[in-house]
């Protein structure tokens, strides 16, 4: 007679238990939530877990469902809960999808049945509150589809979200003054608000109404009075009508700033619809004009890049049933079969290439972000070469296996990367192989070595999850000393982050050091859109040519940063979504 053996999970030492539960190949986020239901002890164990991928939540309140998205980093969604409203509640009340599993494109019934109640709204509220107790994380995006019954407003109140980074409001009908004021009082918005809805006249209605730094008016609602009354640093007015706001109004706005002492305003974008005809600005009448000088200012400004729709070409067996699917980002989260069947060929690779080339001929636009997942069959690289993309701003390369020197050189020859390259893949020895790299390179897989960072001739180097056997604090100091004894005026930043196994990191700097002085330089440096570094805890050094630099260690002694202050300005523009490293 045989009996099934049982694994004594809860008897494991804490380090082993934490490692096991944090292993995504063993348990996904939904498994952990279900594990927390078993007992109070299991709940406490899950709540104490560190280093989970989960960084934030997005909440979408649509007319026929409520979504809670589990966000990993930047805008990467790792899982979703969906609470269906209306008739579908009766058959599929509570659904889940996990993008780490093989069935990543299919909704399945949620297993967290403990959270179900008699109606969808209270189920969604219970689930969200349970999540916030178990994994307290900030809310990034809230998307609200308003409706005539005011259900969306009741739901957002019931959720009790007191702040978020971005709020997007959609509605086919006009939004009343009282609705706007009520929502703005319920939720503090740190970064931006987007009104894809017609607004009642008089916006922003109250002089004391606090708007976030960025305001997007997407429905052609902007008027002269509106942009003059708003005090946000960034105003984006899209699809405007020439009868509501004119080029002369734009000039008047610029002149008002020119004659003021306002030091906080940054960007106004006015975009007119096609019916407005050609537009001219007679700014020479008002100002002395100067040509662009790259030594005086930067070349590019970013308004905001946001996907409005997606095409997906399925590879493998799924190409036979769902070769090309599409999704609109403002119409739910379900992929549907694309109607652009004229672009389909007999195989997925040529379909992708045909569709992309048709798009570029129809709507010629630059490629901003390119993500490439390598595979052992080189299919990704074949498609990459066939697409023939000559330029992009950001290139991200992911791969489970080691990437060869030949593969990387070939990719870099195909596409010129203007901004940054992120290498989330193991590299063959000898990198950078003598190849020209973009100004910024991020190593995410602990690949960085002393030799590597000394060979890279870049402006910014970010080395994450490093091992002390490959790069040490003394190597970091040697890098600083090399810069200090050089006349290099292009280098800007080096960040080295060690794994937890490295222990505490200390720096012994053989130079005259100075404490932070806010009159001498800025306080914060930006690592990416949502991660910043407070350098007031650091030590300053000054090179013989007068250039200042800062060396700082994070409070947990796992990261060190070396930043050269080419500009001594103390101004720092916050997006409202930053987290300090």
Q: What is the mean pLDDT of each run of 10 residues along the chain (581 residues)?
A: 67 80 75 90 86 80 87 71 86 82 66 88 92 90 76 83 88 82 86 87 73 87 89 88 89 90 89 70 78 76 64 81 73 71 83 87 83 71 78 85 82 82 86 76 88 87 88 91 90 86 68 84 74 81 90 78 74 44 52
Residue 562 contacts residue 550 (beta carbons within 8 Å): yes
Burial of 277 (0-12, 13-18, 19+ CB in 10 A): exposed
Angle between helices 120-134 and 29-36 (to 10 degrees): 90
Give the pLDDT confidence score for residue 329 in this predicted structure: 54
Other CB atoms within a 10 A radius of the CB of residue 515 amount to 8
Give the pLDDT confidence score for residue 131 in this predicted structure: 92
Other CB atoms within a 10 A radius of the CB of residue 34 amount to 17
Rounded CA gap, 71 and 78, in Å?
6
Q: Of the candidates 488, 441, 443, 437, which has an alpha carbon nearest to the alpha carbon of residue 464?
A: 443
Residue 230 contacts residue 250 (beta carbons within 8 Å): no
Give the pLDDT confidence score for residue 480 in this predicted structure: 93
Structure tokens at 36: 């927390």
Give the pLDDT confidence score for residue 572 in this predicted structure: 41
Reduced to 3 states, what is the DSSP secondary structure of residue 276?
A: helix
Residue written as tokens 């009642």?
A: 200
Give the pLDDT confidence score for residue 68 in this predicted structure: 92
Rounded CA gap, 266 and 368, in Å?
23
358: left (phi over 0), alpha (psi -120 to 50) or beta: alpha
Residue 45's Cβ-side half-sphere holds a number of Cα atoms within 13 Å equal to: 25
């Amino acid at each position: 007679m045989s009996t099934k053996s049982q694994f004594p999970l809860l008897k494991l030492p804490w380090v082993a238990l934490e490692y096991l539960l944090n292993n995504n190949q063993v348990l996904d986020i939904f498994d952990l939530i279900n594990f927390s239901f078993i007992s109070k002890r299991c709940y406490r164990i899950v709540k104490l877990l560190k280093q989970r991928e989960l960084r934030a939540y997005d909440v979408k309140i649509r007319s026929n469902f409520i979504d809670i998205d589990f966000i990993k980093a930047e805008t990467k969604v790792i899982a979703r809960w969906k609470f269906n409203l209306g008739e579908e509640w009766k058959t599929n009340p509570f659904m889940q999808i996990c993008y780490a599993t093989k069935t990543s494109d299919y909704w399945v019934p949620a297993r967290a049945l403990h959270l179900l109640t008699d109606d969808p709204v209270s189920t969604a509220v219970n689930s969200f509150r349970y999540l916030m107790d178990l994994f307290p994380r900030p809310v990034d995006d809230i998307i609200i589809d308003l409706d005539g019954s005011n259900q969306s407003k009741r739901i957002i109140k019931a959720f009790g979200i007191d702040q978020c980074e971005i709020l997007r409001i959609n509605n086919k009908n006009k939004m009343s003054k009282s609705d706007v004021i009520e929502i703005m009082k319920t939720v503090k918005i740190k970064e931006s608000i987007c009104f894809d809805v017609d607004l009642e006249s008089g916006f922003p209605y109250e002089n004391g109404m606090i708007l976030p730094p960025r305001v997007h008016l997407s429905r052609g609602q902007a008027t002269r009075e509106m942009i003059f009354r708003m005090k946000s640093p960034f105003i984006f007015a899209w699809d405007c009508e020439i009868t509501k706001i004119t080029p002369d109004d734009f000039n008047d706005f610029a002149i008002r700033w020119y004659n003021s002492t306002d030091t906080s305003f940054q960007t106004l974008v006015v975009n007119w619809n096609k019916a407005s005809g050609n537009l001219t600005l007679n700014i020479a009448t008002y100002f002395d004009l100067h040509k662009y000088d790259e030594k005086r200012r930067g070349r590019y400004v970013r308004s905001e890049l946001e996907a409005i729709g997606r095409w997906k070409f399925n590879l493998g067996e799924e190409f036979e049933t769902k070769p090309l699917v599409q999704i609109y980002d403002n119409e739910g989260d379900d992929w549907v079969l694309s109607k652009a069947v004229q672009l389909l060929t007999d195989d997925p690779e040529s379909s992708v290439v045909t569709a992309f080339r048709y798009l570029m001929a129809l709507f010629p636009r630059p490629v901003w972000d390119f993500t490439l997942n390598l595979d052992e069959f080189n299919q990704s690289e074949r498609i990459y070469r066939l697409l023939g993309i000559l330029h992009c701003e950001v290139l991200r390369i992911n791969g489970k296996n080691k990437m060869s020197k030949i593969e990387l050189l070939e990719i870099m020859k195909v596409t010129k990367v203007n901004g940054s390259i992120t290498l989330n893949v193991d590299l063959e020895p000898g990198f950078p192989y003598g190849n020209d790299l973009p100004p910024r390179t991020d190593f995410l897989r602990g690949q960085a070595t002393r030799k590597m960072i000394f060979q890279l001739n870049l402006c910014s180097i970010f080395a994450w999850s490093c091992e002390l056997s490959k790069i040490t604090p003394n190597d970091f100091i040697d890098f600083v000393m090399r810069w200090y004894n050089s006349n290099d005026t292009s280098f800007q930043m080096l960040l080295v982050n060690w794994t937890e196994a490295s222990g505490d990191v200390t720096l012994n700097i053989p130079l005259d050091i100075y404490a932070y002085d806010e009159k001498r330089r800025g306080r914060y440096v930006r690592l990416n859109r949502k991660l910043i570094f407070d350098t007031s805890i650091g030590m300053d050094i000054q090179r013989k040519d007068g250039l200042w630099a800062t060396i700082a260690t994070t409070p947990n002694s796992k990261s060190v940063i070396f930043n050269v202050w080419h500009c001594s300005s103390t101004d720092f523009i916050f997006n409202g979504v930053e987290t300090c490293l």
